[in-house]
Amino acid sequence: MAEPASLRDRLRQLPSVKAEFPYFDTDRAPDEPLALLVEWLEAAIDGGVLQPHAMSIATATVDGHPSNRTLLLKDVDEKSVWFASLSSGPKGLELSENPEAALVLYWREQGRQIRLVGTVEEGPRAVSERDFLQRQPSARARAIAGRQSEPIEDFDLHLRPALKKLEANPDFVPVDWVAYRLSPWSVEFWQAERARDQVRLRYLREHAGWVKDVLWP
Ligand SMILES: Cc1cc2nc3c(=O)[nH]c(=O)nc-3n(C[C@H](O)[C@H](O)[C@H](O)COP(=O)(O)O)c2cc1C
């Protein structure tokens, strides 16, 4: 009887995606990277990409210990991409001591990746409040029931009073719910393509504008 393939072999044999991906004409890319990000994001939404707004965001302590997690992209404006979280949790504390962060969006259905590196700051309070109040009641209750990323002692014991608090005051927003904006100084677009294998275009912020370079894959 044949030996079952090792995990290593199974990983090596996984097929690469053979879809007909969009053509990336780097000569026609806009001068502003966030304009291209919005163009690709809308194509991902229109093309039915699953959770196109799920992105990974890496932060680090001042002494260089990194951590990474998935968050939801909340908005994109001319200068920034937005996400929301608790400023009292690990990522919030890291961002308060080291506001540099790196972010990745990957849309496998379209063979596309976007990487951003930039500086994170808290957005206006009104944006954080609107974001929190648009969350499902259960998500709002969880956010105020305990401290994010701390061990749970008794879930129900803490959730019940949180739900009661929100019932009594539906407009309650905890002070540590924060809408953050990341303003990038580097944005790279990566497109898998059959003909050319992969195409990379990087924008680097320089003075008031952006410098574009096509990079070796
Ligand atoms: C698809 C997905 C979306 C998520 N969206 C958020 C989010 O928008 N905000 C958030 O605080 N955590 C979100 N999380 C949970 C985070 O990944 C993470 O577990 C949590 O924020 C604690 O991170 P920290 O301990 O690094 O602070 C999401 C997780 C997944 C898988």
Write the pLDDT tens digit of every residue in 103-145: 999 999 999 999 999 999 999 999 999 999 999 988 999 999 8
Write the pLDDT tens digit of every residue in 2-49: 788 899 999 999 987 777 899 999 999 999 999 999 999 999 999 999
The reported pLDDT for the residue numbered 17 is 72
Dist CA 94 CA 67 (whole Å): 9
What domain count does the chain have? 1
In a domain, 147, yes or no: no
Tell which one of 57, 68, 71, 93 to mutate to probe ligand 1, the residue whose CB is within 8 A of the most ligand atoms.
71
In a domain, 172, yes or no: no
How much is the mean pLDDT over the chain? Answer: 94
Q: 191: closest CA among 116, 118, 108, 117?
A: 108
Dist CA 206 CA 213 (whole Å): 13
Q: Tell me the CA distances in angstroms from 173 to 12, 115, 138, one per residue in order.
A: 48, 31, 14
Nearest atom in ligand 1 to 85's CA? 11
Q: How far is the centre of ligand 1, averaged over its atoms, from the C-alpha of 28 (Å)?
A: 35
The reported pLDDT for the residue numbered 98 is 98
The reported pLDDT for the residue numbered 71 is 98
In a domain, 16, yes or no: no
Write the pLDDT tens digit of every residue in 67-110: 999 999 999 999 999 999 999 999 999 999 999 999 999 999 99
**pLDDT higher than 70, residue 195:** no
Whether 54 lines ligand 1, by a CB cut-off of 6 Å, is: yes
Q: How far is the centre of ligand 1, averaged over its atoms, from the C-alpha of 69 (Å)?
A: 6
Whether 148 lines ligand 1, by a CB cut-off of 6 Å, is: yes
Q: What is the mean pLDDT of residues 197-201?
A: 92
The reported pLDDT for the residue numbered 16 is 77
In a domain, 161, yes or no: no
Are 162 and 141 in contact by the 8 Å Cβ rule? The answer is yes
Confidence class for position 154, pLDDT limits 50, 70, 90: confident
| pTM, rounded to two decimals | 0.94
In a domain, 166, yes or no: no
Nearest atom in ligand 1 to 92's CA? 27
Give the range of the structural domain holding residue 47, as residue numbers without chain letter. 25-132+177-215
Whether 93 lines ligand 1, by a CB cut-off of 6 Å, is: no
Q: How far is the centre of ligand 1, averaged over its atoms, from the C-alpha of 86 (Å)?
A: 10
Q: Give me the torsion for CA of 22, 199, 189, 69, rounded to 10°.
A: 100
In a domain, 114, yes or no: yes
In a domain, 101, yes or no: yes
Q: Tell me the CA distances in angstroms from 62 to 23, 97, 100, 192, one per residue in order.
A: 40, 6, 10, 35
Tell which one of 85, 105, 136 to mutate to probe ligand 1, the residue whose CB is within 8 A of the most ligand atoms.
85
The reported pLDDT for the residue numbered 200 is 97
In a domain, 9, yes or no: no
Domain with 206 in it: what CATH number?
2.30.110.10
